[in-house]
Structure 1
Amino acid sequence: MGIELIGIHWVYVGFVVMIIGCMIMRRDTSLVCIAGIFLLGWLATSSLSQSVSGIFNSFIYAITELLNTILIISIIVSMGRVLTRTGINETMVSPFIRLMRSPGLAYWTVGLVMLVISFFFWPSPAVALIGAVLLPAAVRVGLPPLGVAIAMNLFGHGIALSGDFVIQGAPKLTADAAGIPVSEVVQASIPLVLVMGTVTTVAAFWLMRREMAAGKLTLATGAVRKGEARAEGGEDPLAAALPDKAKKIMAVIIPLLFVGDLAAMYFFKLQGGEATALVGGTSVVILITITLLAHRNRGLERTTQYLVEGLQFGFRVFGPVIPIAAFFYLGDSAFFNLFGSVLPEGSQGIVNDLGLALANTVPVNKEVGAVTLTTVGAITGLDGSGFSGISLAGSIAQLFGTAIGSGIATLTALGQIAGIWVGGGTLIPWALIPAAAICGVDPFEMVRRNVRPVVIGLVVTTIVAMFLI
């Protein structure tokens, strides 16, 4: 093998097992991760003060690595809030209402619009942006509210979030844990996202049409009271009106600006942080412009309020991720940065060492690796976040990819897809609440109908990944 495993390696493995166990039991993993950081620091330094300091420093390391992701999501949410409150979102999606002439067309129209919007705005804000506008039109042509919610959910929290090609929050987490560039994960995920998305949405559509024909899915199926649709109760104090002409102009300009961003990314080869910065800067400009137009003399104060709302959302989503990411970053270069060169000579990091050891002791192949990553990804999603555990998927993908000798990026992408499809909002009831609430349906009823198409999609995607590793 060349590198001897020492106590630090085994402690890391032990805590990974404990983290997986907590996820299976749907318990929070933050405390376990913090304990793991402390113990690894103690073994590396034999110093109580340095071990305690290592906890804080590992948090700083994780926040530094994730800060651009947290900021871009926060800014996008801030922009989404002002678009919703000024009514620009309604104007943006209103042309698509004409395409809804049957339940089938309504399903695909809602889904595809949700997909595109989610790439740029993230799914939860996108639900608020388009749900209230497209729902009545879809119901009018016969698509039940439950079908609308499922379409938004599968295309947004499923396809768009699992790929996350524009904002790149998910690939950033998994790529860092796997020790590879974000661009490699994004590229490897494209065929898998296409397979997963196509299989799942087509299967869901077929099952939905069959249930509608049998009378098992009607306009009243799964309906609940809609009083819980919004987290912010009562009248919105930041609501503002724009003239119809201004709404129409902005509804054209905003998509064009983002299309321009995509063109710039392609022609100037912008990836990772550069692409994120371009989208973020564009979003800030849009946010400021619309806020000043809508709120006029209160525009300065309202801009700050929108930014604060977005930051609250961003840190609420990523708060549970930070301690988990801090632990898994120790599996790679963060360990050397925080605790020095205490690993055996020639070590490339804890996870790499474990991967080499695995390759020399266990017969690992592409099939075993693919099934393992799908399983691990699904387990990490059991907490309903989709993001809090995907660093684990990246770390294990690096381990298996090293053992197999190839396919780290594909395995990482597979774990990411499984984790987000399960936990990001398609199979965990409390993660489906945004789409369920806006459509006034029961999230548990959504889960019941999502299970079969999502499981079918995961099986097919795992098989395809075996040929791509």
Structure 2
Amino acid sequence: MTHPIVITAAHWAYVAGILAVVLTMVLRANVVLPSIVATFVVALAWTASPVGAVASIFNASFVAAKELFNIFLVISLITALLNALKTLRSDVLMVQPFRAIMGNGHQAFFILAAVTYVISLFFWPTPAVPLVSAVLLPAAIAVGLSPLAGAMAIAIAGQGMALSSDYVIGVAPAISAKAAGATVSAAAVADRALALSLIAGGVALLLAYLTIRRRKLIQPGSEALLEQWQRQSGNGDAKQLEAAGTFDKAEIARGTSYEEPLAIDDKLRHHLPLIDKRRAGWSKLFAILTPLGFAAVIAVMILPKLGLRGIFTELKGGDAAALVGGMGAVLMILATIAAEGARKSLDVCAEHITDGFVFAFKAMGSVLPIAGFFFMGAGGDLAAGILNVPAGEAPPLLFDLVQTAQAFIPQNHYLVAFGVLLVGMITGIDGSGFAGLPLTGSLSGALGPAVGLNVATLCAVGQMGAVWTGGGTLIAWSSLIAVAGFARVPVLETVRMLLVPVLTGLFVATVCAVLFWS
């Protein structure tokens, strides 16, 4: 016999907290303070103890940090690897061969998108944007692609497709799955998100290409186009919009940037710091070894899912993130030894890792109190750790609310899926993309079983809405300012051009999610 659910003051406080967080996001303000206040109020309403409520503020971030620290560690190690590769200039060599195959603006559009996607999938868009903008974008402009069209290709492929699935590094799927509950695996969310991101990105890229053709943004190639672009100055949008929202856009825009875009090959050699012959050989080696290393990681992740379990065992839990982080650490150590020598590398490796942690906490630190608040509504061990009560006494606030309102929730899978997509897009308005994942994950974990919709699929849909919107395709104060800044085009014009392709892509992806993976 099931006991009736009693809605208490803590439940209403939790609802009020969610509304406050969403409203703050809509107003483009930082959501950390509302999350902390909401945590205090909910804890006070449940425990009736001011001391316990104050302690819950610390406990919420601490519990979130314990649950998500593997994510911070992966980001740190991958950033450390990138810094080591930059010392050798291997990061530039990895993409430079693509310059030779840009025959015209049409080819350049898709090459920009493909290279940006691959780099962003392994390193996040943070290094991909300045690297592609420095090495490939000038070549694309010289063969006839307009800077605005180049910015669209980079934003869709990197800020949209790659970041919304986050398949290799696994930050976004881990946050979504953790918020959805113990029964949902990050691997399942990542698989769904990868498929949906490819659908959304494919549609968006196709529509964007048709748009730039209709607007005649592809011209016959000419060095004059490149010279004209190089004479342009920044439009000032970045300085006006940089501080809006919750993400550290300044860190994203400048953390891995190159001071000047690099044009043709002789200018590439002129602008890049000269390296000695010994380093030049290592530079070429790691330009090949790095993608091969991560290709091996992808093979280990994918082959068991294709039925080849006799060769590799399927990765579970945090195994995939551990493999990615471990590969990043190994390559970072080897690259540092090659660049600095065995003795000096002892200090430099430590510096790279420290810089990686600094970047990780600058870029992701604000997620902790936000995730802590939403974890408190999930019940179980997470809520118990925050409220400092036994696990059996921790209230599943969000699930109680959904079960109580189940009679009013439409059983139509499309309405629920598009509702979660819309919530994700609303949370992305603050310009982050990741800050709303605890909310969309929690809602998916509560709504999915109630309406008979696959929770991993619903998590992926919410993730699409949050990251495509706030990650850098639909919001002018998001990381899109970095893309527009490097391309030297107005960021608001870039948003207007991306609006229809991206929204159409998200619509088609959500329909496919319900049709094929519900």
Alignment-derived partner of residue 243 in structure 2: none
Whether the aligned pair in 1 keeps the contact of 2:127 and 2:257 (CA below 8 Å) is: no
Aligned equivalents of 1:317, 1:196: Cα separation in 2: 25
Whether the aligned pair in 1 keeps the contact of 2:120 and 2:128 (CA below 8 Å) is: yes
Q: CA deviation at 1:202?
A: 0.8
TM-score normalised over the length of structure 2: 0.83
Structure 1 residues 440, 18: CA separation in 2 closer, same or farther (over 3 Å shift)?
same
Match of 2:329, as an amino acid?
A: V
CA distances 1:31-90 after superposition (whole Å, capped 9, x unpaired) = 111111112221222222111111101111001111111111122122112222321112
Match of 2:396, as an amino acid?
A: G
The alignment status of 1:432 with 2:480, answered yes or no, reads: yes
Secondary structure of the equivalent of 2:30?
Answer: coil
CA distances 1:329-362 after superposition (whole Å, capped 9, x unpaired) = 11113113333668998x8722222221121344
CA distances 1:119-165 after superposition (whole Å, capped 9, x unpaired) = 11111112233331112221221112222222111101100110111
Pairing partner for 1:338 from 386, 391, 395: 386
Pairing partner for 1:458 from 498, 506, 509: 506
CA distances 1:425-454 after superposition (whole Å, capped 9, x unpaired) = 111223212322333333222212111111
Alignment-derived partner of residue 275 in structure 2: 241
Whether the aligned pair in 1 keeps the contact of 2:424 and 2:465 (CA below 8 Å) is: yes
Whether the aligned pair in 2 keeps the contact of 1:230 and 1:438 (CA below 8 Å) is: no
Secondary structure of the equivalent of 1:212?
Answer: coil
The alignment status of 1:52 with 2:54, answered yes or no, reads: yes
Aligned equivalents of 1:221, 1:16: Cα separation in 2: 45
- Which of 7-16 and 353-362 deviates more? 353-362
TM-score normalised over the length of structure 1: 0.91
Aligned equivalents of 1:288, 1:113: Cα separation in 2: 25
The alignment status of 1:385 with 2:432, answered yes or no, reads: yes
Secondary structure of the equivalent of 1:429?
Answer: coil
CA distances 1:4-42 after superposition (whole Å, capped 9, x unpaired) = 322222211111111111111112221111111112221
Aligned equivalents of 2:143, 2:53: Cα separation in 1: 62
Secondary structure of the equivalent of 1:385?
Answer: coil
Structure 1 residues 98, 253: CA separation in 2 closer, same or farther (over 3 Å shift)?
same
Alignment-derived partner of residue 320 in structure 1: 366
Q: CA deviation at 1:393?
A: 0.9
Structure 1: runs of 5 or more not aligned: none
CA RMSD in angstroms, aligned pairs only = 2.8
Aligned equivalents of 2:98, 2:54: Cα separation in 1: 56
The alignment status of 1:290 with 2:335, answered yes or no, reads: yes
CA distances 1:238-275 after superposition (whole Å, capped 9, x unpaired) = 97835332222221111111112222333221244111
Whether the aligned pair in 2 keeps the contact of 1:429 and 1:444 (CA below 8 Å) is: yes
Aligned equivalents of 1:214, 1:91: Cα separation in 2: 27
Match of 1:370, as an amino acid?
A: A
Structure 1 residues 242, 158: CA separation in 2 closer, same or farther (over 3 Å shift)?
farther
Structure 1 residues 312, 290: CA separation in 2 closer, same or farther (over 3 Å shift)?
same
- Which of 100-109 and 220-229 deviates more? 220-229
The alignment status of 1:212 with 2:246, answered yes or no, reads: no
Structure 1 residues 349, 240: CA separation in 2 closer, same or farther (over 3 Å shift)?
farther
Pairing partner for 1:270 from 273, 292, 315: 315
- Which of 77-86 and 114-123 deviates more? 77-86
Equivalent residues in 2 for 1:96-245 (5 A)? 96-179=98-181, 180-212=184-216, 224-225=233-234, 230=254, 241=275, 243=277, 244-245=280-281
CA distances 1:383-407 after superposition (whole Å, capped 9, x unpaired) = 1111111211111222321321222
Q: Percent identity?
A: 36
Alignment-derived partner of residue 397 in structure 1: 444
Whether the aligned pair in 2 keeps the contact of 1:153 and 1:425 (CA below 8 Å) is: yes
Secondary structure of the equivalent of 1:35?
Answer: helix
Structure 1 residues 68, 141: CA separation in 2 closer, same or farther (over 3 Å shift)?
same
Structure 1 residues 174, 300: CA separation in 2 closer, same or farther (over 3 Å shift)?
same
Alignment-derived partner of residue 350 in structure 1: 397
Structure 2: runs of 5 or more not aligned: 220-224, 239-252, 261-271, 304-311
Alignment-derived partner of residue 41 in structure 2: 39
Q: CA deviation at 1:116?
A: 1.1
Aligned equivalents of 1:111, 1:458: Cα separation in 2: 18
Match of 1:403, as an amino acid?
A: A
- Which of 188-197 and 424-433 deviates more? 188-197
Q: CA deviation at 1:233?
A: 9.2
Match of 2:284, as an amino acid?
A: K
The alignment status of 1:250 with 2:291, answered yes or no, reads: no
Aligned equivalents of 1:239, 1:328: Cα separation in 2: 47
Aligned equivalents of 2:195, 2:215: Cα separation in 1: 30
Aligned equivalents of 1:193, 1:59: Cα separation in 2: 30
Structure 1 residues 145, 363: CA separation in 2 closer, same or farther (over 3 Å shift)?
closer
Aligned equivalents of 1:253, 1:232: Cα separation in 2: 21
- Which of 17-26 and 74-83 deviates more? 74-83
Whether the aligned pair in 2 keeps the contact of 1:384 and 1:423 (CA below 8 Å) is: yes
